[in-house]
Structure 1
């Protein structure tokens, strides 16, 4: 099971490939994920937002976890499974599935749509943590509609079985405050803020854009850790134009299109209400590939 000491570096949240008819494309998934883990990433994240978790049912989640566990069987890379929903009972059931299927940790998001109080957020995470599987809490107010206060984040991080936080709060304030108080590790989830958040105390990143040029993100992290800050900044700056394209429209549509265009998955199909990227963004990404 995942420990605090293992929460560092580059964790890659993978997409869930679908056939044109909408069912999971397991062959594409196995091929594509195998290529990602060859880079010796620090963690694999299945069924996160990038994996279109709100549209993946619990039977499909079992399939994805089993396939991922098989791909990682000869590796020390930890498997983190997105189990958070907007319903606490459903979150607990999915976290139990992940625990019983050999996951190393669960990624649990602040409940979306309901916009609970800070007390409700804390109670939600307490229930998830009671399952016993290590939990990485996930703060993403832009999608959830509500975010953690610093005090709430500190309370959650003090819980038994909560081992870290994915910070998609949109600014370095939360990670800075948590680092100042010596909290459990925080992974940056805002790709464009990754370099700055390393400087504010982040232990690494859980970065959707690391599906592309995975080795470059690993190199940036290693350079920064080795004190080669300017080299890391220069390498990061080279990736910024691509990151901006990949988040110009809702994740994971641009990433799926690019992975499909590169032949890494067989289709860029998404499940409704997500739809494929606009023709304008296809042109921009196509120009990036051609360049």
Structure 2
């Protein structure tokens, strides 16, 4: 199992490839994860938002986790596997977290309970129960999806819970990581891709970065530059990635990512499960132009 010292660098929330008929495309998943591992990432997330967690069954999560473990063994690496287990039901989240532990996950990513819009006290109680399972817990703050925002005091209280090893901050800016950095030694990863460089300067330990499913080596290099104190070079590297990031979030994630990976031949199809839909022709044209410019450079 992982600890808070492992929570740094670039963690990639992996897309879940589907065939055109909507079934899981295991060969494409294997090819994609193998490529990610070759770029020196620090961790993988299975069944995150980018993996279309709302429409992926637990049997499919089990299959993906087992495939990921097998690939890591084959590659001879020790990259942590984090499995998304959070729901808006505490009992269901506890049950999924127990299953992830049995599958051999190194940690779990648990979103702040969504839709119900619980009180700050209810959110704290939710994480206390999940942390009792004994597998390391990463808190996932994403108010745009959950409908509720953590206060700094609540975030610090949750981070103080034994078994909680850090946070993915997708709050939309750098205010939370800036406030938390002097209050806790537990790491905060940036989950808002356009904010990654600013978050690193504000004290983030890395990023849980959906965009790093593509051009992974460029994201890893930009992080390494920032971590080594070469901020001017890191800023320039992130600036080169921003046009890509902006296009990838112009329409709902992960549809643009899947289009680009399919275009590159990494996965067989850009299929997504409803209610997500494939990208529009206009975005496909913009991504095609970007891809062509990268291929020429």
TM-score over 0.5 for the pair: yes
Matched position secondary structure for 2:181: helix
Q: Separation in 1 of the partners of 2:40 and 2:222?
A: 14
2:114–2:147 contact (8 Å) kept in structure 1: yes
Q: Separation in 2 of the partners of 1:63 and 1:159?
A: 31
**Aligned mate of 2:271, from 262, 269, 272:** 269
Aligned twin of 2:259:
257
**Aligned mate of 1:182, from 174, 181, 184:** 184
Aligned twin of 1:9:
9
1:47–1:53 contact (8 Å) kept in structure 2: yes
Matched position secondary structure for 2:124: helix
Structure 2 residue 234 is the aligned partner of structure 1 residue 228: no
Structure 2 residue 204 is the aligned partner of structure 1 residue 209: no
More off after superposition, 202-211 vs 173-182: 173-182
Aligned twin of 1:87:
89
What are the equivalent positions in structure 2 for 1:1-291 lying under 5 Å apart?
1-73=1-73, 74-291=76-293
Q: Separation in 1 of the partners of 2:129 and 2:278?
A: 36
Q: Separation in 1 of the partners of 2:272 and 2:261?
A: 13
Matched position secondary structure for 2:33: helix
Matched position secondary structure for 2:93: helix
Per-residue CA deviation, residues 220-247 of structure 1 (Å, 9 max, x unaligned), is: 1111111111011011100101100000
**Runs of 4+ residues deviating >3 angstroms:** none
Per-residue CA deviation, residues 41-92 of structure 1 (Å, 9 max, x unaligned), is: 1001111000000111111111111111111122110101111112112111
Q: Separation in 1 of the partners of 2:97 and 2:276?
A: 25
Q: Separation in 2 of the partners of 1:92 and 1:129?
A: 9
Q: TM-score if structure 1 supplies the norm length?
A: 0.98
Q: Report the aligned-residue RMSD.
A: 0.9
Q: TM-score if structure 2 supplies the norm length?
A: 0.96
Per-residue CA deviation, residues 70-122 of structure 1 (Å, 9 max, x unaligned), is: 11122110101111112112111111111011110000001111111111111
Matched position secondary structure for 1:92: helix
Matched position secondary structure for 1:115: coil
Q: Separation in 2 of the partners of 1:213 and 1:269?
A: 20
Matched position secondary structure for 1:12: strand
Per-residue CA deviation, residues 173-213 of structure 1 (Å, 9 max, x unaligned), is: 11011002134100000010000011110000000001111
Q: Separation in 2 of the partners of 1:58 and 1:227?
A: 41
Across the two proteins, how many residue pairs are aligned to each other? 291
Q: Separation in 1 of the partners of 2:118 and 2:57?
A: 23
Where does the alignment leave 5 or more consecutive residues of structure 2 unmatched? none
2:2–2:106 contact (8 Å) kept in structure 1: yes
Q: Separation in 1 of the partners of 2:10 and 2:179?
A: 22
1:18–1:267 contact (8 Å) kept in structure 2: yes
1:40–1:77 contact (8 Å) kept in structure 2: no
